[in-house]
């Protein structure tokens, strides 16, 4: 059974530019141009569980190097759902591409956070055999999977998210 429970959107050019400069550096004009490379995630086949997230700029990581990639996207999900971010299996097996937080978990309320719910992906090339990882703009580097989740019968959470990445402070 398929559930249609979410929609991908672009963040604003202003948010993308701020986050790009914060994570990657450079200048605002160049970052604004890269915003045109932001593509909404799609599935490669009708049977795919994961939506491919595209890298909006070229990047090269030597073994041991990492970067937080501003993707330019956000996701609006129905309550009771979350989005998991996982490395593309080919990059994981060939380069040991890893997410710095082991697995990304995007909560439904992240969409309304101060950073517009901008999905940023911290990755590291953990190659143990000296392979340099090159990802060109427009290529998928991670995938996103929508997953339902439950809460306990006695749950009493009432807090509201305001911040972005790592903002719940727990």
pLDDT tens track for 33-88:
999 999 999 999 999 999 999 999 999 999 999 999 999 999 999 999 999 999 99
- The pair of structure tokens assigned to 27 is 């200048």
Q: In the predicted model, is pLDDT for residue 170 greater than 50?
A: no
pLDDT greater at residue 25 or residue 159: 25
In a domain, 29, yes or no: yes
Q: Quote the number of domains for the chain.
A: 1
CB contact burial 102-133 (16+ within 10 A = b; e otherwise): eebebbbebbebebbbbbbbbbbbbbeeeeeb
In a domain, 170, yes or no: no
Length reported for the chain: 170
Range of the domain at 14: 6-148
Q: What pLDDT, on the 0 to 100 scale, is given for residue 91? A: 84
The CATH number covering residue 44 comes to 2.70.40.10
Confidence of residue 129 (pLDDT cuts 50, 70, 90): confident
């Amino acid at each position: 059974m398929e559930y249609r429970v979410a929609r991908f959107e672009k963040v604003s050019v202003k948010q993308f530019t701020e986050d790009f400069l914060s994570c990657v550096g450079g200048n605002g004009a160049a970052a604004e141009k890269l915003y045109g490379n932001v593509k909404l995630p799609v599935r490669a086949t009708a049977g795919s569980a994961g939506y491919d997230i595209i890298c909006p700029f070229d990047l090269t990581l030597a073994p041991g190097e990492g970067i937080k990639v501003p993707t330019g996207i956000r996701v609006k999900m129905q309550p009771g759902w979350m989005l998991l971010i996982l490395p593309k299996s080919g990059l994981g097996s060939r380069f040991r591409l890893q997410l710095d937080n082991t697995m990304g978990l995007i909560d439904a309320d992240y969409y309304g956070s101060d950073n517009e719910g901008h999905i940023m992906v911290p990755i590291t090339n953990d190659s143990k055999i000296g392979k340099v990882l090159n990802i060109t703009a427009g290529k998928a580097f991670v995938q996103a999977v929508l997953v339902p989740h439950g809460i306990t019968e006695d749950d009493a959470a009432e807090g509201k998210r305001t911040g972005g990445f790592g903002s719940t402070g727990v």
